[in-house]
């Protein structure tokens, strides 16, 4: 058909399977196994339905102000979007407009190359070393921008601040984006470095540690000029991106720091216990600083384990891709869910 000649064609991002079965164990999309802060439910229960006939605040003022206070920055340094995917997509659109290729790891969040293709941004991937770490020297070549997650997904590996500073020092003339979707589970944020590097943009999300994947809230923090450019692009694209319920629920999620820290610690404790048990079963994995474990078995192929688990209604993530086709990404669920997973694996493997 003639009209297809002018269609923008891309290979879309493939999200984790979203099954809906009774008594299933869903460990494939890195969701939080616990509910959000109690204040979130109270805010939604007390929602004034009449307010829904009005457009939401396009500046998301309440949420931006709350985040700025929590992270010790100015409101002009905070950008809010509909999940960190929306924030990252807007950052690609705003900052990666050079004819030079942007750089990101070869094993990383699989949305990066999708956005690059969608926006016609040239890109080059840099191979992680055998321990799944970034090699800073790979990011010292000419480029149009840099992006990487820290900790990385799907490996769970955390890079040191020293490594990240080496990359920042070598790339002062382009925007460097550090995607910190999982940083709350044991990582060290690079947020303090935004005072030193005006080209650093740090992106985080409410979907993991704040248990609000269903509300779609993400944010970026950086130099005021970076944030202004992103808002200019956003308001040229869609002024009313975040709905009213998400805005008020997001504020309540940030306010309850005690609940937030307790939930994160429960997940960390379960993760560390699960690591020890997986090792006993013959699994190896990088030292995850996230809410998932990227595991390979010494003798049983990952695909076989994945299919067996799926038959038992236990869902984990598997990619049939080079370098990672013998690994499974296992989200850390509740203790009870992980016990069921471990019991199945023990029986299946032995």
pTM: 0.96
Report yes or no: 167 and 136 within 8 Å, Cβ to Cβ: yes
Residues 6+ apart with CB under 8 A from 180: 149, 150, 187, 189, 190, 202, 203, 204
Residue in this structure with the two tokens 């979007």, named with its chain if needed: 81
> How much is the pLDDT for 350?
83
Q: What pLDDT, on a 0 to 100 scale, did the predictor assign at position 193?
A: 97
Fold of the domain spanning 13-36+258-349: 3.90.1150
Check residue 18 and give its pLDDT. 87
Domain with CATH 3.90.1150.10 in the chain: 13-36+258-349
CATH topology of domain 38-256: 3.40.640
Q: Does residue 281 contact residue 346 with C-beta atoms inside 8 Å? A: yes
Q: What pLDDT is recorded for position 17?
A: 83
DSSP of 69-87, one letter per residue? HHHTS-GGGEEEESHHHHH
pLDDT of residue 240: 84
**pLDDT in tens for each of the 350 residues of the chain?**
889 888 888 888 888 888 888 889 999 999 999 999 999 999 999 998 999 999 999 999 999 999 999 999 999 999 999 999 999 999 999 999 999 999 999 999 999 999 999 999 999 999 999 999 999 999 999 999 999 999 999 999 999 999 999 999 999 999 999 999 999 999 899 999 999 999 999 999 999 999 999 999 999 999 999 999 999 999 998 888 899 999 999 999 999 999 999 999 999 999 999 999 999 999 999 999 999 999 999 999 999 999 999 999 999 999 999 999 999 999 999 999 999 999 999 999 98
Q: Find, among 129, 184, 157, the residue nearest to 293 by Cα.
A: 157
**What does the pLDDT read at residue 277?**
98
Sign of CA dihedral 140, 143, 145, 149: negative
Provide DSSP, 312-349.
TTEE-EE--STTTTT-EEEE---HHHHHHHHHHHHHHH
């Amino acid at each position: 058909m003639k009209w297809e000649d002018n269609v923008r064609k891309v290979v879309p991002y493939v999200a984790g399977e979203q099954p809906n079965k009774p008594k299933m164990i869903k460990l494939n999309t890195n969701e939080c196994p616990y509910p959000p802060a109690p204040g979130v439910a109270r805010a939604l229960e007390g929602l004034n339905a009449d307010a829904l006939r009005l457009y939401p605040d396009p500046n998301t003022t309440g949420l931006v102000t709350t985040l700025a206070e929590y992270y010790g920055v100015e409101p002009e340094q905070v950008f809010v979007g509909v999940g960190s995917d929306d924030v990252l997509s807007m950052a690609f659109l705003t900052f990666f407009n050079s004819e030079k290729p942007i750089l990101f790891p070869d094993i990383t969040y699989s949305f990066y190359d999708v956005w690059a293709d969608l926006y016609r941004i040239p890109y080059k991937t840099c191979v992680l070393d055998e321990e799944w770490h970034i090699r800073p020297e790979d990011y010292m070549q000419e480029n149009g921008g840099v992006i990487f997650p820290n900790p990385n997904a799907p490996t769970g590996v955390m890079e040191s601040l020293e490594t990240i500073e080496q990359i920042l020092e070598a790339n002062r003339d382009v925007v460097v984006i550090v995607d910190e979707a999982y940083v709350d589970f044991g990582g060290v944020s690079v947020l303090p470095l935004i005072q030193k590097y005006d080209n650093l943009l740090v992106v985080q999300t409410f979907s993991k540690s704040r248990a609000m994947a269903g509300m779609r809230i993400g944010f970026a923090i950086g130099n005021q000029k970076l944030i202004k450019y992103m808002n200019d692009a956003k308001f040229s694209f869609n002024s009313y991106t975040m709905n009213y319920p998400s805005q008020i629920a997001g504020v309540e999620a940030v306010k309850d720091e005690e609940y937030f820290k307790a939930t994160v610690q429960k997940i960390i404790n379960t993760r560390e216990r699960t690591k020890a048990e997986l090792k006993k079963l013959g699994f190896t994995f990088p030292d995850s600083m996230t809410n998932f474990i990227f595991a390979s078995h010494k003798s049983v192929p990952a695909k076989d384990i994945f299919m067996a688990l799926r038959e038992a209604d236990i869902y984990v993530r598997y990619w049939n891709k080079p370098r990672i086709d013998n690994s499974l990404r296992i989200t850390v669920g509740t203790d009870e869910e992980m016990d069921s997973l471990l019991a199945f694996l023990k029986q299946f493997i032995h």
